[in-house]
A and B are shown apart, each in its own frame.
Chain A
Amino acid sequence: MIRIISILVGLFFTTALLWSFGNGAAAFIAEPPVATVEHEFHKHPKEVHFASDGAFGKFDHQQLQRGFQVYKEVCAACHSLRHVAFRDLAALGYNEDEVKAIAKGFEIPAYNPATGEVKTSPGTSTDYFPPVAYGGQGSPPDLSLITKARHDGAAYTYSLLTGYGPQPAELLKQFPEAKTPEGLHFNPYFANLNIAMPAPITSDGQVTYADGTKATVDQMSKDVSAFLIWTAEPKLDKRKQTGWAVLGFLLFATVLAYMAYRNIWAGKKGH
């Protein structure tokens, strides 16, 4: 009895699936899906290497400081960094006085519940990066977690920063209606190809690096991407370092466990 019911239930589900499949296939043949401009012209991020890549990768503190400088002088105009506190910057190699000086350069708004006033005062090292008021088109995302919040992380931010350019003639020929609208900017690395952010890093020497590194567009984009890996995952170095210690121990313990296992089973054939 249960088998008859089971076969009937099975036929019910399989027929319903065949029905969906048949209708879907017919619709697919009658109206094949048309290629979209995003599908044809969206590009995967470029291949780019960072010091922190791989199981042995570590942050390059010089690069993180340069990246921070790019953030401060370029990105910070529109993008906040709300999960990062100034004290965290000590991890980039800044000493206490330098951290204090950096914090002082930012105005921190504080709401006074007694008067209802919002007063700003210079930051201290325990403050977090302040919110950024932005009145233009689009909504600049907070950058603290951006390299973990996008597929391919830092390779994506690097590609986006260096990927601006005119729309290819081929695109306009194939999709005449896909012309980048007024106020947006073409970037093949952005999901829908048109981004509100104008190219932020445009010319060599836009930032003057303290360590003498030549500030090319490529270098600045790479440095700020490296910095954003750090803001998203400040414990990365510690994590990998711990990981190797743990794996070393586990390898040792597993070899011992295997030997104990073989030893105990030595008298019993088959296991």
Chain B
Amino acid sequence: MSFPWANEYKPQAPLMQWLDEKLPLPRFVYNAIGAGYPVPRNLNYMWNFGVLAGFCLVIQIVTGVILAMHYAANAGVAFDSVEHIMRDVNWGWMMRYAHANGASAFFVVVYLHIFRGFFYGSYKAPREMIWLLGVVIFLLMMATAFMGYVLPWGQMSFWGAKVITGLFGAIPLVGEPIQTWLLGGFAPDNAALNRFFSLHFLLPFVIAAVVVLHIWALHIPGSSNPTGVEVKSESDTVPFHPYYTAKDGFGLGVFLIGYCALLFFAPNALGHPDNYIPANPLSTPAHIVPEWYFWPFYAILRAFTYDFFFIPAKLMGVLAMFGAILVWFFLPWLDRSPVRSGHYRPLFRKFFWFGLIPAMAVLFYCGGAPAEEPYVMLSQIASLYYFAHFLIILPVVSAIERPTALPYSITEAVLGQDEGSVLAPAAVPHSA
């Protein structure tokens, strides 16, 4: 589906006409990310991150496939094979650093993409399915990143795998058998490393497939925009190409500068030194921490320090950690305000900037800090706000809030006036 004024694909060259009859792939691309897709004209830079996330997925798949040609998923040689890539494979160091920092870059843009959705209400009808698929992508990314971090078989790989699979051990009754089954043993070893490698190779392609669904679902209602007012007429939109391809090109350049600065000048800044020590089941690192992009959820996991009635603290932490992401699935139905954009929601906006954002910042910080005071108490307060925000505050705020006046249309928001809005009141008799 698209808007009636969307440009139509008209191939000129005979070859393209021939191709269009047999397999209209160029037409598909034209309508998806070409001149055939009308997009709101008022998108701000927060709308750049979807394309960037797609680009990151491509970086990860390309560098990952090359790394897999030189890596050996065997507990005896995995660590050394990574060093072989770093030292003896032509440009191997660049591939590995691009892949490791590419994961971080991917999470940076995806977090910004998600927070764009939080603020501008991108999850609301008619875009619930786009949002749900997005959360699925995020979960798949987390699984993929976690298993990827195990592959170098350093100390953090090993102990991270042990801690995370240990979470399943918290499930009552069946927990330990499940953990043993997942690992293929009682502790992470060759069986675990092999299956993690296999799944780490598979999941990015599953992500790619869900990304296709995500974009497909996006093209049904079309992109949202900063006003949250739906597209009304042709003057509200511009064709994706050249307008947003040009803007995304610039965004991509800025992103690549940041990413390459990290890759070439501080490639280990976001990693942990312990992962340059080969895995040793007999020596536990002083602080076991996951990669930075898991810190908020790790902080939530560790925030539950006392048994709650009959529920053990560990199980409570595991429930909360998974719950913290699963709650996003229900967001379209928890926030019932018909106004999408945070710009026109004064009360929501306060809770967003002074509640959710600081709470997430605290969780990010505390998840990377050692499990001692004051970090535990801080993460308890921040986790408390996190759950209250999504499960209590959003439903209540959307019921009691008085939104400010919305513009008539996107065109009016951009140009200050819209012929449609001028004509509409003029048609109403003055007697009213």
Contacts and interface: CB of A to CB of B under 8 A. Distances in A.
Contact of A10 (B256, B263, B316, B388): B388
A21 B376 CA distance: 8
A240 B396 CA distance: 53
B87 A83 contact: yes
Contacts, number: 167
Interface in B269-327: 273-274, 276-277, 286, 303-306, 308, 311, 313, 316, 320, 323
A14 B87 contact: no
A269 B83 contact: no
Interface in B94-129: 94, 97
A16 B316 contact: yes
Contact of A247 (B261, B305, B320): B261
Contacts of B86: 235
Interface string A231-271: 01011001110111011001101100110110011001111
Q: Is the interface of B mostly helix, strand, loop or mixed?
A: helix
A128 to B, nearest CB: 10
Given A20-B380, A21-B377, A257-B250, A10 B306 contact: no
A14 B387 CA distance: 7
A150 B277 CA distance: 9
B304 A16 contact: yes
Contacts of A24: 305-306, 373, 376-377, 380
Contacts of B286: 191
A82 to B, nearest CB: 8
Interface residues of B, number: 67
Interface string B376-408: 110011011001101110011001000000000
A33 B371 CA distance: 13
Given A268-B238, A270-B42, 20 more contacts: A2-B333, A3-B399, A7-B396, A10-B391, A15-B308, A21-B384, A24-B305, A24-B373, A24-B376, A83-B80, A88-B87, A150-B273, A246-B264, A257-B246, A257-B252, A264-B243, A265-B243, A265-B246, A271-B41, A271-B43
Interface of B: 41-43, 80, 83, 86-87, 93-94, 97, 238, 242-243, 246-247, 249-250, 252-254, 256-257, 260-261, 263-265, 267-268, 273-274, 276-277, 286, 303-306, 308, 311, 313, 316, 320, 323, 330, 333-334, 336, 372-373, 376-377, 380-381, 383-384, 387-388, 390-392, 395-396, 399, 413-415
